[in-house]
Amino acid sequence: MALKSLKKKRRIQVIALAAVSLVVAVALIGYAFQDGINFFRSPSQVVESPPKSNEVFRIGGLVEEGTLLRGQGEVISFNVTDGGASVPVVFSGILPDLFGENQGMVGTGRYVNGVFEASEILAKHDETYMPKEVVDALKEQGVYVEPES
Amino acid sequence: MSIWEYANPVKFIRTTDKVLPWIAGLAAVALVIGLGWGFFFTPDDYRQGSTVKIIYIHVPSAFLAINAWLMMLVASLIWIVRRHHVSALAARAAAPVGAVMTLIALITGAIWGQPMWGTWWEWDPRLTSFLILFLFYLGYMALWEAIENDDTAADLTSILCLVGSVFALLSRYAVNFWNQGLHQGSSVMRAGAATGDTTERVSNVFAVPLFISIAGFALLFIALVFLRTQTEIRARRMRALLARERQA
């Protein structure tokens, strides 16, 4: 009986040690990745330190209101902003359903002469779910407020 | 009356046999109500249109994919500390169910992402850790099969489960850690019904059937794990009897 409980104690010690070392390892990796895991750059970062024109990267932010221009042939242009800086974007291709003014987007492409030439545009979803009829009714009454994203 | 009495295989089978029809029945009712309501009696979303309806499969399956792994972690730790075989077998029984849930979440997510985001797949932190979780499920099941000795297999898979729980937690909280990436944050916790908040971001019209679907998926998971654990117990007993017969 004494031997059995000693074994059990040893098992608990081993598993606790394993758990602690795992947590430490994950914390170290997370710490090391703190800057490196950015999925996209913000317009402010791009304006501050413009990447070379041959570097492919992602830019993310909101589509600035009143800047979205469609129907110039195949090209669509708009400005992407994070509140601080704003970067003009050109793109030719199919836009996702959720794309629109004041909505989040992530674009892949290159920064050439102050214009972001996107090869791919993704829309971000802002975790807001509302019935269409309700929003239409609110808009009709003029009391609809865009949720902040 | 201690909870550890249910670690006795006979007691476990007897008890689960009694509650299994009830859990399975409740799961069926909740799934029919939740999914039926969600698919046919909810309005279109103001931006997503009817694509929003995939939420009734995607969110519950993703929720269970993560929680199944955490359940396996708890069961594995109980095995390591207290050496209850039923606990190790319950972890083993849950793995394929969790793996299927992970696959469903990945597939429905891709189907939703193509029209909404504009891409089937993106190496976003949350999506990536979810894919790694799926690979961990496959590795976990393979490790159980690969080791002859039952106790050694239970020990080693328990350690694998401990390591994999990093990705189970990461896929849930990656958004909060880095505050970046493509995948939106958790919508469910922002529902008015969950927080009592009046400025709801997820309208109750969508949230209520969603919660019923989640309950249905969770009950289905419990029923399947009970059933599969019973099968594992009986299979192991049969192997033991056959081995004894050969020796005699």
Quick one: pLDDT band at residue B23, thresholds 50, 70, 90? very high
Q: Give pLDDT, residue B111.
A: 92
Q: With beta carbons less than 8 A apart as the criterion, state whether B82 and B7 touch.
A: yes
Q: Give pLDDT, residue A67.
A: 83
Quick one: pLDDT band at residue B193, thresholds 50, 70, 90? very low
Q: Give pLDDT, residue B176.
A: 63
Task: Determine the average pLDDT of the residues in B192-201.
Answer: 50
Average pLDDT, chain A: 81
Question: Which residue is closest to B156 within chain A, CA to CA?
Answer: A15
Report all structural domains of chain B as residue ranges with CATH numbers, in order of start.
19-179+203-247 (1.20.120)
For the cut 50, the answer to whether the pLDDT of residue B186 exceeds it is yes
Instruction: Determine contact: A15 vs chain B, CB below 8 A.
Output: yes
CB nearest to A22's CB, from B55, B163, B205: B163
Task: Determine the average pLDDT of the residues in B28-43.
Answer: 91
Quick one: pLDDT band at residue A142, thresholds 50, 70, 90? low
Q: With beta carbons less than 8 A apart as the criterion, state whether B33 and B204 touch.
A: no
Kindly report, residue by residue over A82-128, the tens digit of the pLDDT: 888 889 999 988 888 888 888 888 888 999 888 899 988 888 877 67
Quick one: pLDDT band at residue A55, thresholds 50, 70, 90? confident
Model-level ipTM above the cut of 0.85: no
Instruction: Determine contact: B116 vs chain A, CB below 8 A.
Output: yes
Instruction: Determine contact: A128 vs chain B, CB below 8 A.
Output: yes
- Ranking B23-32, B45-54, B137-146, B176-185 by mean pLDDT, the lowest is B176-185
Q: Give pLDDT, residue B198.
A: 46
Kindly report, residue by residue over B141-177, the tens digit of the pLDDT: 999 999 989 999 999 999 999 999 988 888 877 666 6
Question: Which residue is closest to A132 within chain B, CA to CA?
Answer: B46
Which residues of B are less than 8 Å from A15 in CB distance? 77, 80-81, 158, 162
CB atoms inside a 10 Å sphere around CB B82: 13
**Residue percentage of chain B with pLDDT more than 90:** 60
> How far is the C-alpha of A43 from the C-alpha of A9, rounded, in Å?
56
Domain A39-141 CATH superfamily:
Nucleic acid-binding proteins (2.40.50.140)
Query: Exposure pattern of B2-18 as b/e (b: 16+ CB <10 Å)?
Result: eeeeebebeebbeebee
Residue with more model confidence, B50 or B127 = B127
Q: With beta carbons less than 8 A apart as the criterion, state whether A123 and A104 touch.
A: yes
Kindly report, residue by residue over B58-113, the tens digit of the pLDDT: 999 999 999 999 999 999 999 999 899 999 999 999 999 999 999 999 999 999 88
